[in-house]
């Protein structure tokens, strides 16, 4: 605190308080090569005759945790060597290099990115943390929040996907960060000085220099935008619109797209086209017709409920979730997807297999009798289920982990035959169960929409809870049933839609962190 008397004191501080070393913090994830970059920066300064000191606290963080490296550098003054601090001080860091976007955000929270002082050089690619990955649905942190924060905290920002740039140039992110540092002009060294450091390293020099130069050029290019637009934020599904071009090449599909364009409101058209593609791909054109017919029926009801004033939200959500409900996950679908021609090419590209290589894949499958019975004709499957002893015996024979060598002739033919069973799908036990469940769900949604339009829409969205295979699928079903039952019990409240949304969100996160039971208890306490 400034006190009045202190201002009148005659003593001036010793020396110029601004004559401090240049301070650089490198925020990274353990094992990402932050140490290499730190070493380069130290060498850069030492080569110029400066004194440089780096410190780090690797410890357990070296196993993929968040960590920080810190460098200070200064010219010696005659024989006097500067005394350099061992850790960054909030508000007093000149350069922050962040090798990942959330780590950039973390550095802002540490207070080491401040206006008027800090040049922030960050890669905006994301390496997701365990909590983001293990969330049972969408749990990815909002990169836009980081973009907003660095917008007001940093003096200068250089943000782009340095990881992609490094990979494209056959190197690692350290080289891209180093190139961006050089281009930022935050250090008084020339491009040649930087090159010399990389070259002296001796390892992967060529790729490192290439990456360095690419990063340097990208930053210095006139069209480089500091940030905001370049941040690759992961959008949520709700905000995206289907970007499908309008005309299918297949005439028959084209007619059905026409029908959608003609009969459905504009708001739901793109979603319905995507849905059509999904169900036709799942089964056949007739199934697609059924999908459109169902949607048209729902639209009539939607209109009756005043959907026009609601942007046809009911029809839109129905278009989305009905397609998902109709294209359920069964063994036929899995076998079909695994045997398609495009898949081989996609994997080859992903793993970098060329014509000089041979590619095989092994699938990790664990079919149970339940899945097999599902595809059998409903009558026969029901009979089988009623013979408990036989069913158990068969299950023991069937249910075990199987390593399927997809591209060996024998296994491929087997998968191919299973994929070909789609002709019997519509008479199968699984199909009858799915249809019943689908109809019940639509009835529930329509029923609730009668009194509360928004609630009906929320019920449609609850279909999202049903997904996965085997136990996961069963758990999803039971969560869905629980949520719908609860929604029904509070459906007369004015804010029912809001509670329905909360129930669904809690159910999605239920297995990890979320607390569906707790929320249900809370709701029951006031209803």
- Residue 81 sits in the site that holds another protein (CB under 8 A): yes
| Residues forming beta bridges with residue 388, ordered by sequence position | none
3-class secondary-structure state, position 67: strand
| Near another protein in 397-436, by CB under 8 A | 401-402, 406-409, 412-413, 416, 419-420
- Residue 87 sits in the site that holds another protein (CB under 8 A): yes
DSSP state of 80: B
- Binding residues for another protein, rule CB under 8 A, total 162
| Residues forming beta bridges with residue 515, ordered by sequence position | none
Instruction: Please give the Cα distance from 406 to 336 (Å, whole number).
Output: 12
- Residue 471 sits in the site that holds another protein (CB under 8 A): yes
Closest Cα to residue 365, out of 324, 410, 411, 327? 411
Q: Which tokens in the block code for residue 508? A: 């999605």
Count other C-beta atoms under 10 Å from residue 259's C-beta.
Answer: 17
Closest Cα to residue 198, out of 50, 36, 34, 72? 36
Question: Closest approach of Cβ 494 to another protein, in Å?
Answer: 27
- Residue 56 sits in the site that holds another protein (CB under 8 A): yes
- Output 80 or 388, the one with its CB closest to another protein: 80
Q: Choose one: 34-42, 386-394, 428-436, 447-455; the region binding another protein (CB under 8 A).
A: 34-42
- Residue 86 sits in the site that holds another protein (CB under 8 A): yes
Which residue in the block uniquely carries the two structure tokens 């003054």? 77
Identified binder of another protein from the candidate list 268, 271, 305, 449, rule CB under 8 A: 271
- Residue 170 sits in the site that holds another protein (CB under 8 A): no
Question: Closest approach of Cβ 421 to another protein, in Å?
Answer: 12
Question: Closest approach of Cβ 309 to another protein, in Å?
Answer: 24
- Residue 514 sits in the site that holds another protein (CB under 8 A): no
Spatial CB neighbours of 196, under 8 Å, sequence gap ≥ 6 = 47
Instruction: Please give the Cα distance from 525 to 527 (Å, whole number).
Output: 6
- Residue 59 sits in the site that holds another protein (CB under 8 A): yes
Angle at 33 between CA 53 and CA 23, to 5 degrees: 30
Segments in 48-190 forming alpha helices (H): 101-109, 130-134, 143-153, 162-168, 173-184
327 touches 333 (CB < 8 A): yes
| Near another protein in 292-331, by CB under 8 A | 320, 323-324, 329
- Residue 255 sits in the site that holds another protein (CB under 8 A): no
- Output 224 or 464, the one with its CB closest to another protein: 464
**Site mask for another protein (CB under 8 A), range 330-369, x = bound:** ---xx--xxxxx-x---x--xxxx--xxxxxxxxxxx-x-
- Residue 138 sits in the site that holds another protein (CB under 8 A): yes
| Near another protein in 201-230, by CB under 8 A | none
């Amino acid at each position: 605190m400034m006190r009045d008397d202190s201002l009148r004191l005659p003593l001036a501080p010793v020396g110029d308080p601004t004559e401090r070393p240049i301070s650089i913090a490198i925020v990274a994830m353990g094992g990402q090569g932050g140490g290499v970059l730190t070493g380069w920066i130290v060498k850069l300064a030492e080569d110029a005759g400066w004194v440089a000191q780096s410190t780090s606290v690797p410890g357990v963080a070296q196993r993929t945790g968040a960590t920080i490296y810190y460098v200070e550098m200064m010219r010696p003054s005659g024989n006097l060597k500067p005394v350099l601090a061992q850790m960054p001080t909030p508000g007093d860091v000149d350069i922050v290099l962040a090798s990942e976007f959330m780590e950039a955000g973390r550095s802002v929270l540490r207070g080491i990115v401040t206006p008027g002082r800090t040049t922030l050089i960050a890669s905006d690619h994301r390496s997701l943390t365990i909590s983001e990955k293990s969330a049972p649905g969408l749990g990815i942190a909002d990169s836009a929040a980081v973009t907003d924060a660095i917008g007001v905290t940093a003096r200068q920002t250089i943000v782009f996907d340095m990881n992609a740039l490094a990979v494209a140039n056959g190197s690692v992110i350290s080289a891209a960060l180093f190139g961006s540092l050089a281009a930022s002009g935050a250090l008084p060294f020339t491009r040649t000085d930087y090159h010399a450091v990389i070259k002296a390293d001796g390892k992967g020099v060529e790729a490192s220099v290439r990456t360095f130069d690419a990063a340097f050029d990208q930053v210095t290019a006139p069209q480089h935008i500091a940030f905001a637009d370049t941040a690759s934020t992961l959008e949520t599904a709700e905000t995206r619109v289907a970007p499908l071009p309008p005309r299918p090449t297949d005439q028959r599909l084209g007619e059905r797209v026409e029908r959608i364009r003609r009969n459905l409101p504009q708001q739901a058209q793109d979603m319905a086209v995507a849905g059509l593609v999904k169900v036709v791909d799942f089964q056949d054109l007739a199934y697609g017709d059924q999908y459109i017919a169902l949607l048209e029926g729902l639209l009539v009801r939607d209109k009756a409920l005043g959907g026009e004033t609601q942007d046809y939200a009911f029809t839109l959500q129905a278009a989305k979730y009905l397609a998902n409900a109709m294209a359920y996950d069964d063994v036929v679908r899995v076998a079909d997807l695994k045997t398609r021609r495009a898949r081989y090419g996609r994997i080859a590209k992903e793993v970098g297999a060329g014509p000089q290589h041979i590619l095989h894949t092994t699938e990790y499958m664990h079919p149970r009798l339940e899945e097999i019975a599902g595809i059998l004709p409903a009558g026969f499957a029901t009979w089988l289920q009623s013979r408990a002893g036989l069913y158990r015996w068969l299950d023991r024979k069937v249910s075990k982990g199987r390593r399927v060598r997809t591209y060996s002739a024998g296994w491929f033919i087997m998968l191919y035959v299973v994929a070909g069973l789609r002709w019997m799908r519509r008479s199968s036990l699984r199909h009858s169960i799915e249809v019943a469940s689908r109809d019940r769900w639509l009835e529930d949604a329509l029923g609730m929409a009668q009194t509360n339009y928004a609630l009906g829409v929320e019920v449609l969205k609850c279909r999202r809870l049903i997904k996965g295979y085997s136990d996961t699928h069963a758990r999803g079903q039971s969560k869905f049933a629980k949520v719908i039952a609860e929604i029904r019990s509070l459906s007369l409240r004015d804010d029912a839609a809001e509670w329905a949304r909360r129930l669904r969100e809690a159910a999605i996160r239920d297995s990890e962190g979320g607390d569906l039971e707790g929320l249900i208890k809370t709701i029951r306490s006031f209803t």
